Amino acid sequence: VNAAAATWRVGHDLTEAEADTVFGWLSGDTHWAKGQPRSVFDRSLAGSLCFVLRDAAGSLAGFARVISDRATFAYLADVYVATEARGRGAAKALIRAVSDHPDLQGLRRWMLITRDAHGLYEPFGFTPVPHPERFMQRHEPDIYSRAAGTDDRS
Ligand SMILES: CC(C)(COP(=O)(O)OP(=O)(O)OC[C@H]1O[C@@H](n2cnc3c(N)ncnc32)[C@H](O)[C@@H]1OP(=O)(O)O)[C@@H](O)C(=O)NCCC(=O)NCCS
């Protein structure tokens, strides 16, 4: 497992083919971006610091992106590891690269939302929000599915 974990590489640019694959992962296989239009995905990449995980052979294995002013705050989103690459430390390598990025040091706050992967983020210092009553959001969970007439909610 440790030998496999050491083989992961992280870059910041997706090839066209890789972007197609990541779009398929997120829009097809996540509860939060299911049905997302390709144009929205493309704009999300353009406005983010992307993290592209590849295996030793250079094959795409995972993706994450960070939305940040690169000074005070960052939001970690769209963390995904290819099904065939799971369970070998890929996500940990990805979050390590995010955490270590030179443009993302000294930030006062990081945020993310997760249903069940809290244990992935805890070693990197993430905790539950201590005062959720202080947090507000505007949220349209079915913004991508409304047009398709489905009822998927994040
Ligand atoms: C969650 C996901 C990114 C994990 O990827 P992975 O490469 O299999 O994870 P790793 O092998 O690096 O291990 C993750 C670590 O976090 C822990 N963990 C906690 N919650 C977890 C969860 N829901 N899924 C997977 N691992 C989880 C694991 O136990 C492991 O720690 P350990 O090695 O100490 O046991 C991957 O399963 C995935 O892409 N799932 C679908 C999309 C998704 O849910 N993304 C996360 C959104 S917050």
pLDDT digits (tens, 9 = 90+) for 98-120: 999 999 999 999 999 999 999 99
24-74 pLDDT per residue, tens:
999 999 999 999 999 999 999 999 999 999 999 999 999 999 999 999 999
pLDDT of residue 149: 47
Q: Whose CA is nearest to atom 5 of ligand 1?
A: 91
Strands (DSSP E) along the chain, which ranges?
Answer: 9-11, 49-54, 60-68, 73-81, 109-111
CA of 149 to the centre of ligand 1 (A): 30
Give the Å distances, CA to CA, from 18 to 5, 12, 148. Answer: 21, 12, 25
Q: Is 63 touching ligand 1 by the criterion CB < 6 Å?
A: no
Does residue 97 line the site of ligand 1, with CB under 6 A?
A: no
- Tens digit of pLDDT for each residue in 7-24? 999 999 999 999 999 999
